[in-house]
Amino acid sequence: MNNKRKPFVAGNWKMNGNRSLVESFVASLDSDVAQHVDVVICPPAVLLSSFNSASFSLGAQDVSAQDNGAHTGDMSVDMFKEAGCEYIIVGHSERREDHGESNALIADKAKKVLAGKLTPIVCVGEPLSVREAGNVESYIAEQLDALITALSVDELAKCVIAYEPIWAIGTGKTASPEQAQDVHRFIREYFAKVDEALANGLRILYGGSVKPDNAKTLFAQADVDGGLIGGASLKVEDFISICQAAN
Ligand SMILES: O=C(CO)COP(=O)(O)O
């Protein structure tokens, strides 16, 4: 963690949670937790309207790349904005896998989110086979290239990047702090080739089996600016300890 960049912790509830979980978060997550950390909860879209708290921000888990129209089941940036979202996750590996989302589509989505003046949290990360073959950097570079091609330097500077190795998501196999730092450094250096100031200011989150007992060492890495938390963001005490670890 670098003290020039404000720490950031986002909880991605995925397809989990209900109104009673929302209530426990609103009751327990007070503004002390979010004093020095940007705290975001990304619940399923239907739960967004149940949140009423000024202590943390809201995010969506995905968005359409279209403005409106005949796209059954999709939701637009404007809709999420009206529902109180400040952030939208795009390119999560589960969206890439379950819905065949391409790097180009994800870059379009990020551009649309920025046009609506919200912040995209853009996910990248490799499957185990790519890591075992020693191709992590070229794989991540290809994911970043689509974004760098579609967005201006000013737009890129407004993004948050999340590195989520697929083999670490929901598996309990967290990347070691060194593995996380190696890829985070690579990502920052890759952006530095575009623009140094952009790279220095960019917040890069780690995601993949972050828990209260490993958060502190992960967040202590120089290029890890916080986390994107799945399973542990469904337990309010665990999520609070992870936010505290980022403080
Ligand atoms: O995919 C993730 C967050 O977006 C990480 O999930 P887990 O924390 O459950 O591994």
Could you report the per-residue pLDDT of 48-106, keeping only the tens digit for each? 999 987 789 999 999 999 999 999 999 999 999 999 999 999 999 999 999 999 999 99
ipTM of the assembly? 0.99
Q: Cβ contacts of residue 41 below 8 Å, gap of 6+?
A: 10, 11, 13, 25, 51, 56, 57, 58, 59, 233
Could you report the per-residue pLDDT of 110-158, keeping only the tens digit for each? 999 999 999 999 999 999 999 999 999 999 999 999 999 999 999 999 9
pLDDT value at 35 more than 90: no
CB-neighbour burial class of residue 51 (10 A; exposed 0-12, middle 13-18, buried 19+) = middle
Which of the residues are catalytic? 92, 164
Atom 7 (ligand 1): residue with closest C-alpha?
Answer: 230
Atom 2 (ligand 1): residue with closest C-alpha?
Answer: 230
Find out whether 12 is annotated in a ligand binding site.
Answer: yes
Domains of the chain and CATH, by start: 8-245 (3.20.20.70)
